[in-house]
Structure 1
Amino acid sequence: MPITTDDVDAAATRIAGVVRPVALLPADRPDRWFAAEHLQHTGTFKARGAANLVAAHLAAGTLPDAGVVIASGGNAGLACAWSAARHGVPATVFVPETAPAVKVDRLRGYGARVVQVGTEYAHAAEAAAEHVAASGALASHAYDHPLIAAGAGTLLTEVLATTPGGVDTVVVAVGGGGLLAGVATVAAAAGVRVVAVEPVGCQAFAAALTAGRPVDVPVRSVAADSLGARRVTPLALAAAAAADVVPVLVDDDAVVAARLHLWEEHRLAVEHAAAAAVAALATGGYRPAQGERVVTILCGANTDPATLAPNAPGMPG
């Protein structure tokens, strides 16, 4: 069942005063802005959905003593661990063995129990499901959950309320589609176009559009730690069907170049997922019309700043 703007409004009420309001920054041209959600608690928009989920279950008295469990490439786990820690709730986070060390260290810093398994998000998800069945803990999800998606949608609600002159188009990177589901729900009601950007090597949303349903896709991209879901959530497809959504694919070289540009020209240190959204405009994958007011969401910043130098170790050559 798709989420609604009422779900997003309820999420906004629950997380008011808990998450940081989004900051808007001028981009490279007039009528273009960056939504600096990489400055959010835990470094990504994921804090919104996690705060909404925990608050909703606490209010309903449905949060078990075993706490909350999530599988994550890192960012959703950080948000879950942060939200749980605020309320003294136990959190167990399953991540792939390939999750960046900076994310794993921060998970442990929030007090979460971290279990590393497999090489992809899907492997961690399977292990987390087994743990939930055995422990009775509350299952959260990195993206495929209505409370998570509704929380993410509050980001665009804030953007629409604060962008000077209004918004015609919002550009957002897509992994599993939780952010897209929330953003597209709000955008449809506001008459705002959504540009949904994926790396060529992680195109779960584009593949689902072609197939007419979520399908498994290969995962291989420099942004796979954040955008490497094998399949998109049905929530995103449902929201996209009711909105003006333009899918765009970008290659890894463009993502890397956009990330370096954000650092060199704006001193914004973001992860590759955030740079993917910027790459859509930089490459012409999406070309705004004259005067079109565009906001690009910088979704996360959980990255190693050492990799921002050109030709740094670990950068594609």
Structure 2
Amino acid sequence: MITRDDVLAAERRISNYIRRTPLFRGGSSSAPLWLKCEFLQHTGVFKARGAFNRQLAALERGELDPAVGVVAASGGNAGLANAYAAAALGVPATVFVPDTAPRVKVERLLKYNATVRQIGTEYIDAYEAAQEYVAQSGALFCHAYDQPEIAAGAGTIAEEILQDEPGIDTIVVAVGGGGLYAGLAASAAGRTKIVAAEPFTIPTLHAALKAGRPVDVAVSGIAADSLGARRVGDIAFSIASKEPPISVLVKDDDIIAARAQLWSEYRIPAEYGAAAAFAALTSGAYRPQEDERVAIIICGANTDPGTLSDAAPEYRAAAS
């Protein structure tokens, strides 16, 4: 369990290492809408916040050996963030990713001088291999989502949103393993509500809330590379159990259409996982009240730019 105090500590710790990303008013809508441009964060994804918080805190406590470095398991984004943070702090990074990780993410990992090891077809395969490496090497393990410092770092996004627009009523976020959701919920508790958007094909938090505990779900669909955790993290579930979010599910076609709309209307190159949050509104899965002030986090842009088009066939099909 984490609290807002943990988020505020993270905010102080990482302020000189991360970008404060813009929050801007969106287009016409039945409700006032803002977009939090976290895709402009270092490495193109919000996870840089948690990576820096985890590694800096470990350095403070003497838990990170600069000669051995850090290790992460990831569908790609958490690996990018931890490799970038490690390079900035002058320590080596080893990143385990599935064989299915997008090429654009693997290439960027190599540019950050990370040692990349590809194994298996899902995040869980990379995770298990990373745990074996940690046991052998003594490297600092940086979880993709289920560590207090990782989640608290992500929660600093809510601090920025509510500093820039204190009247925000609702924050909409895509959920995979739940680290971003957990940090936001810890920060925003008692101040604003959270809408947790997930693909129908990977409903980790939704299934956990229904079952009363984290449970494994099948991993598939268009957003599996970034929202592909098999189960929600314990930190996210503990927070959701205490103060449940509004949990909504979106179809792959709606995610595809939302991503195309973000590019067409705003020139935002969102990856599919990030577009899931926007899809919660565009699909009608979440319908805000007329005067409800809504902020949507566009959390990542590590995508193939060649798939972005104003007239993408999949957008026309999904929107028809």
3-state SS of paired residue (2:189): helix
Q: Deviations over 1:3-56 (max 9, x none)?
A: 011110110010012110021122123620000000000001100000001110
Residue pairs, 1:15-54, within 5 angstroms: 15-28=14-27, 29=29, 31-54=32-55
Taking the TM superposition and a 5 Å limit, the aligned residue runs for 1:64-75 are 64=65, 65-75=67-77
Equivalent residue number for residue 131 of structure 2: 129
| Alpha-carbon offset, residue 311 of structure 1 | 3.2
Matching of residues 156-305 of structure 1 within 5 Å: 156-163=158-165, 166-190=167-191, 192-243=192-243, 245-305=245-305
User: Equivalents in 1 of 2:184, 2:285: separation in Å?
Assistant: 20
Preserved contact between residue 22 and residue 159 of structure 1 (Cα < 8 Å) = no
- Residues matched between the structures, number: 311
Deviation at 1:66, TM superposition (A): 1.3
1:123-181 Cα distance to aligned partner (Å, 9 max, x none): 00010001101111111100010000000000101100002x61100000000000010
- State the shift of 1:115 in Å: 0.2
Letter in 2 for 1:282: T
Equivalent-residue separation in structure 2 for 1:25 and 1:273 (angstroms):
20
- 3-state SS in 2 of match to 1:184: helix
SS of match in other structure, 1:189: coil
1: CA distance, partners of 2:247 / 2:92: 38
Does the 8 A contact of 1:185 with 1:243 survive in 2?
A: no
Q: Report the CA distance between 1:241 and its aligned residue.
A: 2.7
Which of 82, 85, 90 is the equivalent residue of 1:80?
A: 82
**Match in the other structure for 1:146:** 148
- 2 CA distance for matches of 1:243 and 1:201? 24
Gaps in structure 2 of 5+ consecutive residues:
none
**Code of the aligned partner of 2:51:** A
Q: Does the 8 Å contact 2:209/2:241 carry over to 1?
A: no
Unaligned stretches of 5+ in structure 1?
none
Query: Residue type matched to 2:13 in 1?
Result: R
CA distance in 2, matches of 1:295, 1:244: 18
Deviation larger for 41-50 or 18-27: 18-27
**Paired letter, 1:94:** F
Native 8 Å contact 2:10 2:53 kept in 1? yes
**How big is the shift at 1:63?**
0.4
Question: For the residues of structure 2 that align with 1:244 and 1:137, how far apart are their CA atoms?
Answer: 35
- Describe the superposition over 1:254-298 as per-residue Cα deviations: whole angstroms up to 9, x where unpaired: 000000001111111110011100001011110000110000000
Structure 1 ranges of 4+ moved more than 6 A: none
> Percent of aligned pairs with the same residue?
56
Tell me if structure 2 keeps the 8 A contact 1:187–1:243: no
Compute the displacement of 1:221 (Å).
1.1
Report 1:91-110 matches (<5 A).
Answer: 91-110=93-112
Map of 1:60 onto structure 2: 61
Q: Which amino acid aligns with 1:155?
A: I
Q: CA deviation at 1:199?
A: 0.4
**C-alpha offsets along residues 211-261 of structure 1, whole Å, 9 cap, x if unaligned?**
111111000110000001000001111122333510000010000000000
What is the SS of the residue equivalent to 1:295? strand
SS at match of 2:121: coil
Give the equivalent residue in structure 1 for 2:113: 111
Q: Distance in 1 between matches of 2:50 and 2:297?
A: 16
Give me the CA root mean square deviation. 1.3
TM-score after normalising by structure 2? 0.95
User: Aligned-pair distance for 1:81?
Assistant: 0.2
Residue in 2 aligned with 1:7? 6
